């Protein structure tokens, strides 16, 4: 084992800048949403996924996959949203294990009220700052990284460079 290949100055700067931007952007969007509505970013994403569906309803496991959330997190979160009247849970006729999660009229009102300012903020803080070539470049960058992340997610254990019976 030779020494670690540490980051160059350029790499370190880029990495730290990315991390700072990413956390601050999320925080800013969350603050805006909280200020202008009674929704958190997490609530918003749940509701967006439900409104994307023709009947405003989705199987819970599909929602978990779409959000990339653990089923436990989803279950707890939906419990809270249910108590607030934003979603309903109904049973699935074809698979008795399953549940449908459905947006309520109140949930619809909430997201319809919150969405315009949220989108405006995404524009104001992010998209409108960047030229369309930059937006496209960013998408390519993110797709490249995502691709690698999803390869890796399949492995149980990897990336050590060690193989048994080398």
Binding site for DNA (CB under 7 A): 27, 34, 40, 42, 59-62, 64, 69-80, 89, 92, 95-99
x-or-dash string of contact with its own copies, 5-34, rule CB under 8 A: xxx--xx-xxx-xx-xxxxxxxxx---x--
CA angle 25, 29, 34 (to 5 degrees): 150
Least separation in angstroms between CB 82 and DNA? 9
106 binds its own copies per the rule CB under 8 A: no
How long a stretch of residues is the chain?
166
145 binds its own copies per the rule CB under 8 A: yes
How far is 22 from 43, CA to CA, in rounded Å?
19
92 binds its own copies per the rule CB under 8 A: no
84 or 113, CB closer to its own copies?
113
List, in order, residues 6 or more apart from 44 with CB less than 8 Å away: 33, 111, 114, 118
7 or 92, CB closer to its own copies?
7
Q: Which residue has the tokens 């980051």?
A: 7
How far is 7 from 3, CA to CA, in rounded Å?
12
How far is 123 from 26, CA to CA, in rounded Å?
14
How far is 74 from 89, CA to CA, in rounded Å?
13
Q: Which residue has the tokens 């609530």?
A: 43
Least separation in angstroms between CB 27 and DNA? 7
62 binds its own copies per the rule CB under 8 A: no
Instruction: Give me the residues that bind its own copies (CB under 8 A), please.
Output: 4-7, 10-11, 13-15, 17-18, 20-28, 32, 68, 115-116, 119-127, 129-130, 132, 134-150, 152-153, 159
């Amino acid at each position: 084992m030779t020494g670690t290949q540490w980051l160059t100055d350029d790499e370190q700067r880029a990495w730290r800048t990315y991390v700072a931007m990413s956390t601050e952007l999320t925080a800013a969007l969350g603050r805006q949403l909280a200020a202008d509505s009674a929704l958190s970013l997490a609530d918003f994403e749940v509701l967006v996924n439900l409104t994307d569906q023709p009947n405003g309803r989705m199987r819970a496991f599909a929602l978990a996959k779409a959000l990339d959330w653990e089923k436990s997190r989803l279950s707890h979160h939906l419990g809270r949203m249910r108590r607030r009247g934003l979603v309903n849970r109904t049973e699935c006729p074809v698979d008795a294990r399953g549940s449908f999660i459905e947006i309520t009229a109140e949930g619809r009102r909430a997201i319809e009220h919150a969405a315009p300012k949220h989108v405006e903020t995404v524009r104001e803080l992010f998209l409108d700052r960047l030229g369309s070539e930059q937006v496209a470049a960013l998408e390519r960058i993110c797709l490249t990284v995502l691709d690698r992340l999803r390869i890796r997610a399949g492995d149980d254990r990897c990336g050590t460079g060690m193989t048994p019976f080398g």
